[in-house]
Structure 1
Amino acid sequence: MTRTRSRSRAARPAAALPLRTALVLSTVVFLSACTSSAEIESGQRADVAAEAAAAGETATPLVVDTSSEQADRVRTDEDPDAAGLVPATIAEDGVLRVGVVGSGEPPLGFLADDNATVVGSEVDIASLVADSVGLELEVVNVAWEQWPLALQSGDLEAVFSNVGVNAARLELFDFATYREGVMAFTAATGSDLSIEGPEDVAGLTVAVGSGTNQERILLDWNAQNEAAGLEPATLEYYANVADTMLALQSGRIDTYLGPNPNAVYQASVGEVDIVGTVNAGWPNTTYVAATTLKGTGLVDAVQAALQHVFDDGTYERTLQRWGLGDEAVDAPEVNPEVAS
């Protein structure tokens, strides 16, 4: 059985999370609930379902295990065809060394309750790939700015960490896609906002990260709105997500445009409502992908492994485990075309 290990030398300090955090998600809206596994096992699932039914919703309670053991992780079997594509230089030690940025919050990559083991949706996808190619998974906790050099130096063999495919990265790395790159508009709970396009942000105050894809989208939307005679959105910049959440809750801003996975988590614990989504490559489509050094040949094995878990259903189950079903792609693609 594939084991997941984190190198202690790369672990970064973060606040420990409770042993088991119940993220109760609805397929229509994200319900604000956080309960222990014991409470769920004693009947809370039925209570949540009854409340959702009364509100006309279909609820899918989801228990996310934040322990280092990850007993709830979805697993798959080895696919001989995928395993046969692994380059000999990588297969010889029986280990797939994968980098994941573990300094965030659920669901992507974060530290488990031992404050050392990296867990999350990105680790789970990497685990499925390792299972499929018959290798032991070794997870290395890396800082975001370190992963390109770590791949180029050979310290890492792949990166699974919400890496978006773009033209500049395609010059140096190979990619196998497994999620759409989606950004979400969040607002204070109970907000009546609904954002589907440029006209819906006209006149609003919107928080956004400087130099990000989402800032570029909002600047493009402002230009489009001004050309149509609409008032542009006012963009506000905050140093971190905590400050942004305070600004939302105090009414200083109307909405925040940031990564959808983080918004899913924040909504699941009742901090915000998701009021709209947009692809990070708007008006085009961009993807999140497993990243390998260009020319090593490993990307072909990763793509075959991903196809295996797409086919057997474990890919879909893994995304649902973390509330990311809306970001699913139909099939993994190697080095998709991107707009320059």
Structure 2
Amino acid sequence: MSDDTKTDPDNKTEPDNKTAPDKTDPEPTSEKPETPGIPPRRRTPLIIAAVAIIAVIAVIAAVVLGGGADEETATESGDVTEVKIGEVAGAAAKPTTIEVPVVDEIREKVPQEILDRGTLEIGQGALPAGFPPLAFVGTDNKTLTGAEPDLSRLIAAVFGLKPELNNATWQNLFVGLDAGTSDVAISNVTDTEERKQKYDFASYRQDNLGFATVGTSTWEFGGDYRTLDGLKVAVGSGTNQEKILLEWQAKLKAEGKKLDVKYFPDNPATWTALESGQIDAYFGPNPGIAYQIAGTGDTFRNAGTFSGAGESLQGLIAATTKKDSGLVEALADAINYLIENGQYATWLETYGLSNEAVGKSEINPPGLPLENQ
């Protein structure tokens, strides 16, 4: 998903999964009366106990009913948080619950001002329409759900903090980081060398493009552009994947072979063309393809992926913080804890994104080169 070269969620640019393609991309209680004859000193403990119980009930009510923190998707039990994954994501996910303990040695690396606040302020760039399965408003019409918000909740649980999701447009996602209103952006942000001038990164997912075919097709991309010879392949106009596909087309032409690149006005038209046999494959953001497959059963299948950064570098999606904010090490450690203890794999599987797994979260790994942006 090399979406970070565009701002349209469906065009494989930053919300690199896009489901809203561009012109060619197919691409969230009463007190008991006193008993006569009992001396006051005997009644006092009972009164104190009653007051204590009422106070506890009041505290619990305040936590449950209070706004702001993401209480709808995570409930704490001692030092373990039960995070509900994909709870209101509809066809985009297979809902599950993941238990995450607070890890003290990682929590200690979180800046004190964040710990004192008690919440982790997490930027999401899913306005106005969202981009399933990564970030979108759920079936309850209010909860921000998707792979990115749910990973945010898992990370906050490792820290022992309440996740506060700050949803904004793609452009304002970075404004929030710059202004300090968000501690971190977890919103399909691609690691690039240009962005490293202002931000620090902790990688957590591969930035991949994918090929979709009909479910009965046996064709596989296999990482080799020469397998595209003789095919009709749709792509979104003006996207990073179009640039890659046209480069392959030129190579094939120089070899005396042919790749027919097709364009359609919107996502539905592209998928209709694929199902009807007008095209052999669609090349687009891998998460968007996973979402389409999840909602249509065996109608379509994924025939292979390719790095959104191009042939020479595996593109990476990363948690993004303001440079030198002091949070990036804790983020990488939290992600690695989730990887090592299985919660990460469950999270990816829930959203059909297992083919974008990383073996380890890295701090500021090589990013999309300046010349590719």
Distance 1:20 1:286 in 2: 26
* Counterpart AA for 1:319: L
Task: Report the Cα offset of residue 131 of structure 1.
Answer: 0.8
Identify if the C-alpha distance between structure 1 residues 141 and 298 changes in structure 2 by more than 3 Å, giving closer, same or farther: same
Among candidates 79, 87, 93, match of residue 111 of structure 2: 87
* Counterpart AA for 1:94: G
Give 3-state SS (helix, strand or coil) of 1:96's partner: strand
* Counterpart AA for 2:323: K
Task: Report the Cα offset of residue 234 of structure 1.
Answer: 3.0
Residue in 2 aligned with 1:56?
none
Task: Report the Cα offset of residue 326 of structure 1.
Answer: 1.8
Give 3-state SS (helix, strand or coil) of 1:268's partner: helix
Residue in 2 aligned with 1:230?
257
Contact 1:107–1:120, Cα closer than 8 Å, also in 2: yes
Residue in 1 aligned with 2:352?
323
Residue in 2 aligned with 1:193?
219
Distance 1:269 1:90 in 2: 39
Identify if the C-alpha distance between structure 1 residues 185 and 76 changes in structure 2 by more than 3 Å, giving closer, same or farther: same
Pairwise CA RMSD of aligned residues?
A: 2.6
Contact 2:90–2:138, Cα closer than 8 Å, also in 1: no
Task: Report the Cα offset of residue 246 of structure 1.
Answer: 2.1
Identify if the C-alpha distance between structure 1 residues 293 and 18 changes in structure 2 by more than 3 Å, giving closer, same or farther: closer
Distance 1:108 1:19 in 2: 13
Larger Rg: 2
Distance 2:344 2:237 in 1: 33
Give 3-state SS (helix, strand or coil) of 1:249's partner: helix
Distance 1:234 1:262 in 2: 22
Distance 1:168 1:316 in 2: 30
Residue in 2 aligned with 1:77?
101
Residue in 1 aligned with 2:70?
4
Q: Is 1:280 aligned to residue 308 of structure 2?
A: yes
Instruction: Number of aligned residue pairs: give it.
Output: 284
Residue in 1 aligned with 2:321?
292
Residue in 2 aligned with 1:334?
363
Alignment of 1:1-340 (within 5 A): 4=70, 21=90, 64-65=94-95, 72-102=96-126, 103-104=129-130, 106-196=132-222, 197-231=224-258, 233-270=259-296, 271-283=299-311, 284-340=313-369
Contact 1:74–1:124, Cα closer than 8 Å, also in 2: no
Identify if the C-alpha distance between structure 1 residues 126 and 204 changes in structure 2 by more than 3 Å, giving closer, same or farther: same
Give 3-state SS (helix, strand or coil) of 1:269's partner: helix
Task: Report the Cα offset of residue 77 of structure 1.
Answer: 1.0
Contact 1:81–1:304, Cα closer than 8 Å, also in 2: no
Greater shift after overlay, 217-226 or 291-300? 217-226
Distance 1:84 1:331 in 2: 21
Task: Report the Cα offset of residue 256 of structure 1.
Answer: 1.1
Give 3-state SS (helix, strand or coil) of 2:200's partner: strand
Distance 1:20 1:141 in 2: 17
Question: % of aligned pairs identical?
Answer: 33
Distance 1:246 1:332 in 2: 38
Return the TM-score normalized by structure 2: 0.69
Task: Report the Cα offset of residue 136 of structure 1.
Answer: 0.7
* Counterpart AA for 2:94: V
Greater shift after overlay, 251-260 or 113-122? 251-260
Contact 1:5–1:117, Cα closer than 8 Å, also in 2: no
Contact 1:175–1:299, Cα closer than 8 Å, also in 2: yes
